[in-house]
Amino acid sequence: MNPLFNTELPVEERAKETIKQMTLEEKVSQLVYKSAAIERLGIPAYHWWNECLHGVARCGTATVFPQAIGLAAMFDADFLKRVAEAISDEIRGKYNAYQSIGDNSIYKGITEYAPNINIFRDPRWGRGQETYGEDPFLTAELGIAFIRGIQGEDEKYRKADANVKHYVVHSGPDELRHEIDVTIDEKQFRETYLYAFARCIREADVACVMGAYNRVNGAPCSGSSYLLKDILREELGFKGYVVSDSFAIDDFHLHHKITSSPVESAAMAFNNGCDQNGGTTFLHLSEAVRQGLVKEEDIDVSVQRLLEERIRLGMFDPAEDVPFYKISNDIVDCAEFRGLAREAAGKSAVLLENKEDILPLENKYKTIAVIGPNADSKDVLLGNYSGTPSKYTTLLRGMQEEAKKRGIEVIYAEGCDLYKKEYKSLCETDLIPEAVIAARKSDIAVLCLGLSPVLEGEEGEEGAVQCDRDDLGLPGRQAELVRAVAREGKPVILILCNGSPLSIPKEEPLADAILEVWYPGEEGGSAVADILFGNYNPSGRLPVTVVKGTEDLPPFDSYDMQGRTYRFLEKEPMYPFGYGLSYTRFEYRPVDLPETIPAGKDIQFDVSVKNTGKCSGETVLQVYIRDEEASVKVPKHQLVFFKRVMAETGEEKKVTVCIRARDLAVVRQNGTCVLEPGRFKIYIGGSQPDEVSRRLTDDEIWEGVIEMTGVETEIAY
């Protein structure tokens, strides 16, 4: 019996015995993203490249959830896992359908290139929308939840493979990714950039790691022995497979100029720890073996990793033995998942301003003007790396449907183009006057503004005007539109759609309320209407810092963290990380918080969360710490725990908080991780403990001190 199909054998033996029967060329054919069929061994062709950042992408119909940055704004790891489980159901349902007709083409497999756990260190980066924001702890917690949801919890089979990318120091400028060499010291490397990768590998058993395009300290990420062997394999104990970003290995000779040919590039990447090429350069490995640059027995190791993974996914086992083959394609974009998408969009929305409690609108106004280039746009619902929903609700449609139920008239005007500053065609005209007329006829104006995937995203993406941003403000004539509508003297609500932060210091004084909704997914319009009219209490929190402008940022191509993110920010932000308003209010009080903790022990205590406001709703409990006596520079304070909490008016909930001992350690300049006894400031509330958050929320942040006792101890990173 072909060992590959012998389910009585251990996975390792099935793979190893099969590889013994392969020629060198057959082995090499398995090491690229499009693995060739080996018919004599019963191995079908398989395309490893699939995408599921916030739903199954680029493969027809799928439920489209809010973009990843919006999912991060939920601050809800448990709910994100539910979203990922729904996505993995659709992955399997679609895969099963395509397998039934023998389709093994791109984007139709069960090995996913997600999540993106890079740190969103600079708001100019167009791909920041794909991440979980700027904080390493938040990114790690959400990454772990997403991976577990995608991969499933079956003891024998994986539902699908998750892939953490882009390993490891990678966050723009996107136009330079093929050639940039990022210089970073060991302390910042481990303190900021490596943290989420380490935890996703150790705690979620992620199947795959993708190497980035760029170099780090001279070595390409997809061909660095230090990154792929010393850290990934030896230090972190990674057992899965490593894939290069798409055509990153070509960059070795084409752009980085550290090799002189495809053969040398393939040999360098492979010998330094890359198992699979996201492109086709690894097809030169046969020649590399013949030239003595690569050993065939090493090729066997990588082929075995890949073949073992296909076995764990159930590709060679009877369908009746693999529980996930029972998932039907009928589940794709079903009513249940559309409801989940709507709930996610509601949870992800962040209320930035609500002057004089103008929201919720309820039935206060009889006529509403809905204005703006994003009001009736499908594109702003989806973000990048998305599928195609079978149904969708734009912001305009969502408000129209809810207003109709309440007997409220909606007047629509586009107002202006998304990004054009002037019109050069006879087929175009100035639309701002129409918006002014609409506002004049209405009791209140809702302006739907911001960005779209054509203005931020991945370098080279089809249809994009730009990838990264030079300016953080509203593009085109949108700011002019705000001013023109505001002059009518009617209340103004701003709805912002975007994947990266928008700086609006001049527009903020003109708005009575501002709601950040990101790229909210297929049910974004319904969710926004729910919030505006009071069906849902907004509870999202910013996973990024909103600065006042680019002048407050360090150079884009510098990866030094000084002056970046809330942890090292030097200038006062417009809106801080962790910030978000609600229609109700909460109080936070620790219970039995210890005064001392032995070094190396987790801190555990309860927090009372009480809804003291006028309506039910959710809040996000946030706990931050600051090392008061650190021997090295540390963040001003850093997030160490969060939990979304639902409470009715007057209701009090107890939440058990656990702060990991590891998160009390400092990283020294040489990269060692050390527990240093001393005083730690602890902050407990619904936001971070900065002055801007306190001023904007008017909430009290509880502060206390914990003493770490014992002796200084070096621990594993």
Query: Is the separation of the CB atoms in 485 and 463 below 8 Å?
Result: no
Residue ranges of the alpha helices (H) in 111-249?
136-151, 186-188, 195-204, 225
Cα atoms found within 13 Å of the Cα of residue 369, Cβ hemisphere only: 27
Q: What is the DSSP string of 60-81?
A: SB---PPPHHHHHHT--HHHHH
Alpha-carbon span 37 to 141, nearest angstrom: 38
Q: Give yes or no for a contact between 548 and 586, defined as CB atoms under 8 angstroms apart.
A: no
Alpha helices in 189-315 (DSSP H): 195-204, 225, 250-254, 262-271, 285-290, 296-312
Nearby residues of 497 by Cβ (< 8 Å), 6 or more positions away: 374, 377, 380, 395, 448, 449, 450, 451, 452, 517, 518, 519, 520
The position carrying tokens 């509880």 is 702
Could you give the angle at the alpha carbon of 122 between the alpha carbons of 120 and 124, nearest 5°?
Answer: 110
Catalytic option among 76, 89, 174, 245: 245
Nearest in space to 85 (alpha carbons), one of 198, 165, 162: 162
CA angle 168, 257, 465 (to 5 degrees): 65
Q: Is the dihedral of CA 184, 185, 190, 192 positive or negative?
A: negative
What lies within 8 Å, CB to CB, of 222 at 6+ separation is 211, 212, 213, 228, 244, 245, 248, 249, 269, 274
CA triple 227-233-238, angle to 5 deg: 115
557 is catalytic: no
| Total residues found in the chain within this entry | 717
Q: In what order do the strands lie in the sheet with 215-216?
A: 181-182, 215-216, 219-220
Supply the residues annotated as catalytic: 245
